[in-house]
């Protein structure tokens, strides 16, 4: 951006210089003509021409005065118009109300700070503009510039310079203009920097730094200005008919030069540029640049905080030499690396979308047109001075939003939103829209009042409510063409924040949903009836409500005795009895009663169909309906006549059956029965189609309804969520809002569930704010869904905040299991043990653990954080334990190196009478034996697996292969692998890795070839990590590198850092350090500790001290607190005999408190006793005998080695 400003400044210098040169060129011919006439002696002619010149001068003066007035008038009109718009904006800034799009985004206090800052800047802008227009008008009206031009020539002459020299005269003129500009602009710069910016906490520079920057700027102008001006004047003097092309070519070249040297030479004169340190942020930026093919060469951090707390980031460079600069304030103000990367993604969006190229081309084209226009008027007698109006066109805003969308599509939507909000808040930029309200409001008012649909579409982007108010509900969605989930979610968020009418507007538009106080008194209550004795029918209703089966049977007998169930009697008693039996779950009694009923009506059918649906038999419900429909067709009264309640019950059965074809058949039946226009039935049809997944038909029915209520919209939305059509559900919700239908709690439950499942965190705060605006913040089900949404997506702080508001402050209320499970899950995955302990404390305080699943979740959370004691306390306190409880505790103990306790729990579970260990239990115990080196216990567990029949489970076989390989019994691993009937890719990888552990790379390659020939599985990334590692441990360098190349070329698997680390280890172990270094330099990603660590370890094998020190330097930057690289470097020094350096590192480690954990081994003595020991360990009771045997073995091996060496020498001599 700075480079473009420099090019524009040079452009303005060129235009001013060109104008002055043209004026001088027009003056010269007249002067030469006068001199020639004098030499020829034609004095009369000279006097006549002089008189004509005077007259022309007077007429020219009149014309120029008139032009000056016109110019002044035009400038004043423009000033008045812009000031009027600024006043409108100033009034908008004075409004104390937080704009709706910012509700829930920034607090009221921060909004007030932003408003105060904007108002101060606005007031200063008024004064600055007024003084500027006053000075410009005065300069133009009193012809100050020609006077300055004349005086500058006189000063140049007095200074001994040749004023006839265009270059010297122009430089003197520009020097005077520059001095005047600096003097007049200095007070405003000082006030803006040290009063306004300092008042609001932005200014960080001192007065001396300000003066130093100003002096540097003046010196740069003196250094760069004269050559540029001289070149422009020479081009104007000699350009001829191609002047415009020459001028443009020069300015084009100058722009490229300035864009090149400014960030490299000029900018460092004002700011300090330091390379961005190695770390997570640098890796993420480089990864982002690589994914976009951005040729990033260098990353800098500039000390912007020395002058201001405003933040920024920019990029520069040509072709393959791109660089990115971050302001240190940007790094300080963003709370995470992802937020910073999202801002970089926005900037890279400008590059990827060619905005920089378009801008540069547009500037060059405008410059060429300006030079072309100058060549047309430069030879005329009247050269009009032009005015430039610097403004921000609408296209700039469009470009910014395109870059935002680009960053969003890269997956940085929530981070970019959070970063921009933070930068907006800390930069307290104006929060009121810069589009002047009067112009926008007038256009909208006219459009909506006159129902001008065409004009309404022209401003559809900002005012989508026009569509629904004009009957364009479907156009409202399709017009915005939301093709992807990200775009649709962003559209939905903006709709919630900026479109949704207020609650009062809903009250006006939909009186039946009004939440306001009614304007007329409520109707009088009906008179109370006299108390009467209960009838059998009323008793049956009570029995049905209480599900009282004995009372229902007794009433049945009473009705039979009274004759109320006879054929001649109304069906009221029979239907009530049928309904009571069905409510009590006595289906056989209900069917027997149904067979005994002399006839049936619509109520009978509706009760039976609804009951069967409730019992989970929707197909039986439809069959019963069809049976009643056909059996009663020959009755005297025409048989069963369905009503809207029967139709609704039938459609409910179709929805539960989830058979779309059946739903369409029932739809046809209802149409022929005359229910196609009934709103209640159509709403049920919408619900049915949505539940069976036919959203298109459901939406078509819904949009065809004359009146759409919240029930029909919610039915369609819930059906979409039920069928996993989450994006469609959000689309329906947006359409519902645009239809001016107020969501209810059921609607919000479905929408929140959809957003939660999609993980669209950018919508979470918007939905939360909408819940509050709808008055549902005390609805337990809605708040529970919000808690689950936040917790399952890792927003634990927000989830626990809602949990505290709803439950902790109301000590008598306990949350349900779903909420607690979600909260504990969120605490587990996000690493928030503090919040998890708080929830546990609340449950202990309430003395209520709702279910086993909650206790299991608590154990899982403590196991995740290796809080073994806390997990065991929960486990011991459980009244009832299921298999998940045992598995969680055993896995926790096994992963925390409490192997004995894990095996003991497994024995207790195995010996119990209730639960049986499952494959998860077995996997945990196998892993424990593998990690602890317990071969005997592993073999016993293998026997249990065979006996229990679990050996056919592929995952258990894979675990056994790995276990035996780690315990040294590769033959057992081979046996299990060969006996497996079904092998997955994990099986092949386990066997390849097993051979690699034992240094048998050839066998690993053989297994890999068998995998390729088998064809049932395809190698994955882990396959090649194991394969290359196996080749590394076997010295098969060429084979390992071929595997690496095959992974990229044959299988199209993109190498990860593990693959690169394996190749470096492969080359390092074989001593090919030059190749390893070259490989690291050619890596497309920046190497991390997994690359330099193996290289440093390899250096200790060969004593490569130079490369070891280089690797250690890199590791010290990446992992400054680690002791691993220090120990490795100390070992390298010891290998090459630099004992002082080795001891120095060890001493430094002790000084800073770093201590390396001693290496240990584990021996299993006959399956009876296991012992863990370290080097020179004497804790064992038989340590003297053990070391005696060890010394004897060492002596024997030394003797054998000596005999072999001696025999080798003899063979060589002979």
Least confident of 379-383, 616-620, 710-714: 379-383
Q: Is the domain of 245 the same as that of 358?
A: yes
pLDDT > 90 in the chain, percent: 8
For residue 616, what pLDDT is reported? 67
Tokens 């729990």 identify what position? 905
Highest-confidence segment of 628-637, 878-887, 907-916: 878-887
Q: Is the domain of 1135 the same as that of 1198?
A: no
**Domain membership flag for residue 99:** yes
Q: What is the largest CA-CA distance in the chain?
A: 151
Q: Is the domain of 1028 the same as that of 1096?
A: yes
1174: β partners:
1160
Q: Is 318 exposed, middle or buried (0-12, 13-18, 19+ CB in 10 A)?
A: exposed
pLDDT digits (tens, 9 = 90+) for 537-572: 777 777 777 777 787 777 777 777 777 776 666 677
Model confidence at 152: pLDDT above 50: yes
* Helix, strand, coil percent content, the chain, rounded in steps of 5: 75, 5, 25
Q: What is the CATH number of the domain that holds 349?
A: 3.30.2010.10
Q: Is 667 annotated as a binding residue?
A: no
pLDDT digits (tens, 9 = 90+) for 377-409: 555 444 434 333 233 322 233 333 344 444 444
Catalytic status, residue 913:
no
> Which residue from 223, 242, 426, 238 is spatially nearest to 334, judged by alpha carbons?
426
- C-beta separation of 1125 from 1096 below 8 A: yes
Least confident of 296-305, 605-614, 701-710: 605-614
Model confidence at 158: pLDDT above 50: yes
Domain limits for position 1075: 950-1157
Question: Where a domain ends, among 378, 401, 416?
Answer: 378
Q: Is the domain of 1174 the same as that of 1079?
A: no
Mean pLDDT value across residues 770-795: 85
1163: β partners:
1171
Give 1043-1095 as a DSSP string. HHHHHHHTS-PPP-HHHHHHHHHHHHHTT-HHHHHHHHHT-SS---HHHHHHH
**Domain membership flag for residue 621:** no
Out of 197, 286, 347, 589, the active site residue is: 347
Query: Quick one: pLDDT band at residue 988, thresholds 50, 70, 90?
Result: very high
How far, in Å, CA of 819 to CA of 810, rounded? Answer: 16
Distances (CA, A) of 498 to 417, 494, 773: 16, 6, 13
For residue 133, what pLDDT is reported? 80
**Domain membership flag for residue 1198:** yes
Question: Residue 794 CA to chain centroid, in angstroms?
Answer: 13
> Which residue from 975, 965, 974 is spatially nearest to 926, judged by alpha carbons?
965
Model confidence at 674: pLDDT above 80: no
Q: Is 235 exposed, middle or buried (0-12, 13-18, 19+ CB in 10 A)?
A: buried
Question: How many structural domains does the chain have?
Answer: 5
pLDDT digits (tens, 9 = 90+) for 854-900: 888 888 888 888 888 988 888 988 888 888 889 889 988 888 888 88
- C-beta separation of 888 from 858 below 8 A: no
Query: Is the sign of the CA dihedral 267, 270, 276, 282 positive or negative?
Result: negative
Q: What is the CATH number of the domain that holds 1023?
A: 1.25.40
- C-beta separation of 548 from 583 below 8 A: no
Q: Is the domain of 1178 the same as that of 1121?
A: no
Distances (CA, A) of 820 to 789, 798, 826: 12, 14, 10
pLDDT digits (tens, 9 = 90+) for 202-223: 766 777 777 877 887 788 777 8
Q: Is the domain of 992 the same as that of 1087?
A: yes
Q: Is the domain of 274 the same as that of 288?
A: yes
How far, in Å, CA of 1173 to CA of 1161, rounded? Answer: 6
**Domain membership flag for residue 282:** yes
Residues 6+ apart with CB under 8 A from 1096: 1108, 1111, 1112, 1115, 1125, 1128, 1129, 1132
For residue 1029, what pLDDT is reported? 92
**Domain membership flag for residue 35:** no
Mean pLDDT value across residues 50-64: 44
Cα atoms in the 13 Å half-sphere on the side-chain side of 868: 12
Q: Is the domain of 68 the same as that of 118?
A: yes
pLDDT digits (tens, 9 = 90+) for 999-1051: 999 999 999 999 999 888 899 999 999 999 999 988 899 999 999 999 988 88
More confidently predicted of 28 and 143: 143
Model confidence at 1064: pLDDT above 90: yes
For residue 1040, what pLDDT is reported? 93
For residue 1058, what pLDDT is reported? 92
More confidently predicted of 1193 and 961: 961
Model confidence at 242: pLDDT above 70: yes
308: β partners:
203
Q: Is 350 annotated as a binding residue?
A: yes
Question: Where a domain ends, among 1139, 1157, 1175?
Answer: 1157
Q: Is the domain of 1178 the same as that of 1152?
A: no
Query: Quick one: pLDDT band at residue 305, thresholds 50, 70, 90?
Result: low
CA–CA–CA angle 846, 850, 856 (5° rounding): 115
> Which residue from 569, 15, 455, 573 is spatially nearest to 251, judged by alpha carbons?
15
**Domain membership flag for residue 439:** no
298: β partners:
323
Q: Is the domain of 1083 the same as that of 979?
A: yes
**Domain membership flag for residue 804:** no
More confidently predicted of 384 and 105: 105
Query: Quick one: pLDDT band at residue 1131, thresholds 50, 70, 90?
Result: confident
More confidently predicted of 56 and 1122: 1122
- The predicted model scores a pTM of 0.48
Residues 6+ apart with CB under 8 A from 251: 7, 10, 11, 14, 367, 371
Name the phi and psi angles at 571, rounded to 5. Answer: -85, 10
- C-beta separation of 926 from 894 below 8 A: no
Least confident of 348-362, 406-420, 720-734: 406-420
Catalytic status, residue 404:
yes
Length of the chain: 1214
For residue 677, what pLDDT is reported? 64
**Domain membership flag for residue 989:** yes
Question: Where a domain ends, among 1114, 1137, 1157?
Answer: 1157
For residue 511, what pLDDT is reported? 31
Tokens at residue 701, please? 């029915």
- C-beta separation of 580 from 617 below 8 A: no
Q: Is the domain of 1184 the same as that of 1130?
A: no
For residue 52, what pLDDT is reported? 42
pLDDT > 70 in the chain, percent: 64
How far, in Å, CA of 377 to CA of 379, rounded? Answer: 6
Out of 338, 339, 404, 1164, the active site residue is: 404
pLDDT digits (tens, 9 = 90+) for 915-943: 888 888 888 889 888 888 888 888 888 98
Mean pLDDT value across residues 108-113: 68
Highest-confidence segment of 401-410, 648-657, 701-710: 701-710
Q: How far apart are the first and last CA of the chain?
A: 82
> Which residue from 179, 184, 229 is spatially nearest to 11, judged by alpha carbons?
229
Q: Is the domain of 91 the same as that of 163?
A: yes
């Amino acid at each position: 951006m700075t480079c473009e400003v420099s090019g524009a400044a040079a452009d303005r210098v060129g235009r001013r210089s060109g104008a002055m040169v043209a004026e001088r060129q027009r003056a010269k011919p007249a002067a030469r003509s006068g001199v020639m006439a004098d030499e020829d002696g034609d004095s009369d002619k000279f006097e006549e021409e002089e008189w004509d010149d005077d007259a022309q001068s007077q007429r020219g003066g009149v014309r120029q005065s008139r032009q000056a007035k016109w110019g002044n008038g035009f400038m004043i009109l423009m000033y008045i118009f812009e000031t009027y718009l600024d006043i409108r904006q100033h009034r908008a800034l004075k409004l104390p109300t937080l704009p709706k799009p910012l509700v829930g985004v920034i607090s009221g206090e921060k909004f007030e700070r932003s408003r105060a800052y904007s108002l101060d800047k606005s007031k200063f802008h008024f004064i600055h503009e007024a003084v500027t227009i006053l000075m410009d008008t005065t300069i133009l009206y009193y012809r100050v510039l020609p006077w300055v031009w004349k005086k500058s020539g006189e000063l140049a002459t007095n200074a001994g310079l040749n004023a006839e020299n265009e270059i010297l005269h122009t430089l003197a003129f520009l020097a005077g203009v520059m001095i005047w500009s600096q003097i007049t602009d200095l007070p405003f710069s000082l006030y803006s920097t040290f009063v306004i910016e300092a008042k609001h906490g932005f200014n960080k520079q001192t007065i001396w730094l300000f003066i130093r920057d100003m002096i540097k700027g003046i010196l740069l102008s003196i250094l760069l200005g004269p050559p540029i001006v001289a070149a422009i004047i020479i081009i104007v003097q000699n350009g001829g008919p191609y002047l415009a092309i020459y001028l443009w070519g020069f300015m084009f070249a100058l722009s490229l030069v300035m864009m090149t040297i400014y960030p490299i030479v000029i900018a460092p004169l004002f700011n300090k540029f330091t390379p961005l340190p190695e770390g997570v942020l640098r890796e993420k930026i480089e990864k982002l640049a690589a994914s976009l093919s951005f040729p990033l060469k260098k990353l800098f951090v500039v000390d912007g905080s020395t002058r201001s707390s405003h933040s920024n980031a920019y990029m520069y460079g040509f072709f393959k030499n791109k660089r990115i600069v971050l302001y240190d304030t940007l790094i300080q103000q963003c709370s995470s690396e992802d937020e910073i990367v999202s801002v970089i993604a926005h900037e890279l969006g400008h590059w990827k979308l060619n905005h920089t190229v378009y801008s540069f081309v547009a500037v060059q084209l405008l410059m060429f047109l300006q030079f072309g226009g100058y060549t047309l008027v430069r030879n005329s007698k009247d050269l009009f001075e032009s005015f430039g109006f610097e403004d921000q066109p609408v296209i700039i805003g469009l470009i910014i939003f395109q870059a935002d969308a680009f960053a969003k599509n890269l997956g940085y939507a929530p981070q970019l939103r959070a970063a921009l909000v933070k930068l907006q808040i800390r930069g307290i930029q104006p929060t009121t829209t810069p589009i002047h309200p009067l112009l926008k409001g007038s256009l909208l008012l006219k459009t909506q009042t006159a129902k001008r649909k065409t004009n309404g579409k022209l401003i559809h982007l900002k005012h989508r409510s026009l569509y629904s108010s004009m009957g364009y509900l479907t156009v409202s969605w399709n017009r915005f063409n939301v093709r992807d989930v990200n775009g649709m979610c962003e559209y939905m968020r903006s709709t919630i924040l900026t479109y949704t009418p207020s609650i009062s507007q809903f009250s006006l538009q939909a009186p039946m949903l009004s939440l306001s106080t009614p304007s007329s008194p409520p109707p009088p209550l009906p008179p109370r009836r006299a108390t009467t004795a209960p009838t059998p029918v009323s008793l049956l209703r009570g029995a049905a409500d209480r599900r009282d089966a004995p009372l229902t049977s007794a009433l049945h007998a009473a009705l039979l005795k009274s004759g109320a169930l006879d054929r001649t009697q109304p069906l009221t008693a029979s239907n009530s009895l049928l309904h009571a039996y069905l409510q009590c779950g006595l289906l056989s009694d209900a069917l027997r009663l149904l067979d005994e009923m002399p006839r049936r009506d619509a109520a009978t059918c509706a009760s039976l169909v609804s009951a069967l649906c409730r019992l989970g038999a929707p197909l039986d419900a439809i069959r019963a309906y069809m049976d009643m429909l056909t059996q009663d067709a020959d009755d005297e009264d025409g048989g069963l006549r369905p009503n809207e309640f029967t139709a609704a019950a039938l459609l409910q059965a179709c929805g539960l059956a989830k058979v779309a074809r059946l739903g369409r058949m029932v739809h046809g039946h209802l149409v022929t029965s005359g229910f196609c226009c009934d709103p209640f039935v159509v709403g049920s049809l919408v619900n049915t189609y949505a539940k069976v997944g036919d959203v298109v038909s459901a939406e078509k029915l819904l949009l065809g309804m004359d009146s759409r209520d919240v029930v029909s919209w919610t039915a369609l939305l819930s059906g979409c969520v039920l069928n996993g059509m989450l994006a469609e559900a959000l689309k329906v919700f947006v359409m519902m809002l645009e239809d001016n239908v107020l969501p209810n709690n059921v609607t919000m439950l479905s929408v929140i569930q959809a957003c939660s499942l999609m993980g669209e965190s950018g919508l979470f705060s918007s939905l939360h704010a909408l819940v509050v605006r709808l008055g549902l913040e005390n609805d337990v089900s809605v708040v529970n869904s919000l808690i689950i949404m936040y917790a399952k997506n890792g927003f634990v702080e927000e989830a626990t905040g809602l949990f505290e508001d709803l439950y902790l402050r109301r000590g008598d209320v306990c949350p349900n299991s779903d909420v607690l499970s979600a909260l504990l899950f969120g605490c587990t995955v996000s690493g928030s043990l503090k919040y998890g302990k708080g929830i546990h404390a609340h449950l202990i305080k309430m003395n209520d653990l709702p279910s086993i699943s909650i206790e299991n979740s608590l154990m899982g959370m403590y196991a995740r954080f290796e809080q073994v004691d806390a997990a065991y306390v929960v486990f011991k306190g459980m009244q009832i334990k299921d298999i998940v409880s045992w598995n969680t505790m055993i896995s926790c103990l096994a992963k925390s190196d409490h192997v004995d306790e894990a095996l003991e729990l497994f024995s207790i579970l195995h010996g119990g009478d209730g639960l049986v260990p499952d494959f998860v239990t077995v996997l945990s115990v196998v892993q424990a034996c593998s990690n602890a080196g317990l071969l005997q216990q592993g073999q016993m567990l293998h026997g249990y697996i065979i006996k229990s029949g679990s050996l056919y489970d592929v995952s258990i076989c894979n675990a056994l292969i790995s276990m035996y390989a780690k315990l040294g019994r590769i033959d057992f691993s081979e046996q299990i692998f060969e006996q497996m009937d079904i092998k997955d890719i994990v099986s092949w990888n386990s066997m390849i890795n097993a051979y690699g552990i034992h240094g048998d790379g050839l066998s690993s390659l053989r297994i890999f070839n068998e995998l390729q020939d088998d064809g049932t599985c395809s190698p994955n990334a882990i396959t090649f990590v194991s394969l290359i590692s196996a080749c590394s441990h076997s010295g098969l360098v060429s084979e390992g590198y071929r595997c690496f190349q095959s992974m990229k070329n044959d299988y199209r698997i993109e190498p990860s850092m593990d693959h690169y680390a394996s190749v470096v280890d492969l080359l390092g172990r074989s001593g090919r350090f030059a190749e390893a270094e070259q490989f690291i330099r050619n890596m497309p990603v920046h190497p991390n500790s997994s690359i330099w660590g193996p290289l440093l370890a390899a250096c200790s094998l060969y004593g490569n001290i130079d490369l070891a020190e280089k690797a250690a330097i890199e590791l010290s930057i990446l992992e400054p607190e680690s002791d691993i690289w220090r120990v490795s470097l100390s070992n390298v020094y010891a290998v090459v005999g630099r004992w002082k350096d080795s001891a120095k590192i060890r001493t430094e480690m002790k000084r800073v408190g770093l201590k390396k954990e001693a290496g240990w081994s584990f021996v299993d003595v006959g399956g009876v006793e296991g012992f863990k020991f370290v080097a020179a360990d004497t804790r064992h009771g038989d340590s003297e005998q053990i070391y005696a045997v060890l010394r004897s073995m060492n002596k024997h091996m030394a003797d054998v080695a000596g005999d072999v060496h001696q025999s080798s020498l003899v063979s060589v001599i002979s």
